[in-house]
Amino acid sequence: MKVLVVEDDPKIASFVQKGLKEQGYVVDVCHDGDEGYDLASGESYDVILLDIMLPGRDGLSILRALRAEKNTVPVILLTARSGLDERVEGLNMGADDYLPKPFYMEELIARIIAVSRRASGDQLSVLRHGDLVLNLITRDVLRGDNRLELTSREFNLLELMIRSPGRVYSRTQLLEHVWGYDFDPQTNVVDVYIRRLRNKVDLPNELSLIETVRGVGYRIKADG
């Protein structure tokens, strides 16, 4: 998941960025409304965390402009104000949620997951494919009766592929979706992580779910 954080308080922005990266999210941060609008309108994000009070464009004007452009990216407003009118105005403009400051990281992550699910039409917090189960809230992974211990990056890689069984992802696509920045095209980081996943997900089981498509990339078997 790729998240844009538009927050003028460096401490809050750093706190949010660190917390989201620990969960394996790809995070862009900016501290003023003008740059925030340029990124939000010019890049592709799964969720935008948008402070209302910003230098340059304020958060509500950014939200208004995005919705006028038919940009439906989920937006969570961050506000230090307790006034009801401002929150109602933001929701009426098309914000998907709001979160008053200060907030707990766990609650922010839960809200990000919730708005991204609604945006995708997926109301499930648990993904199942055969005997493989991923809980998107707790990030628990089960294969049959066995609980698997995955790193955040391993979890995100597996989640991406399990959402589209049978779809082949190239190494470049996996790098873009899971790592979020450009690697040397000769890097073998994807192959390393796929090997780790296979050791945890497939090796102890008779049925292997992760397939290599020679010359193309990797996929989860369509028939789990």
Question: 116-152 pLDDT, tens per residue?
Answer: 877 766 556 788 899 999 988 788 999 988 999 999 8
pLDDT digits (tens, 9 = 90+) for 158-212: 998 998 899 999 988 888 778 765 556 667 889 999 999 999 999 888 889 999 9
Residue 39: CB atoms within 10 Å: 17
Q: Is 58 helix (H, G, I), strand (E, B) or coil?
A: coil
Do 161 and 220 meet the contact criterion of CB atoms below 8 Å apart? yes
What own/partner pairs with CB < 8 Å and gap ≥ 24 does 80-87 have? 80/53, 81/52, 81/53, 86/52, 86/60
Structure confidence by residue, pLDDT tens digits, 83-129: 566 667 778 888 999 888 888 888 898 889 888 877 766 556 788 89
Helix (H/G/I), strand (E/B), else coil: 65: helix
Task: Set out the domains of the chain in order of their start, with CATH numbers.
Answer: 2-120 (3.40.50.2300), 151-220 (1.10.10.10)
**Which residue carries 């890049």 as its tokens?**
43
**Gap between the Cα atoms of 217 and 214, Å rounded:** 7
pLDDT for 15: 92
Strand order across the 97-100 sheet:
26-30, 2-6, 47-51, 75-79, 97-100
β pairing state of 132-135 and 217-220: unpaired
According to DSSP, the residues that pair with 127 across neighbouring strands are 134
How many CA atoms within 13 Å lie on the side-chain side of 151? 10
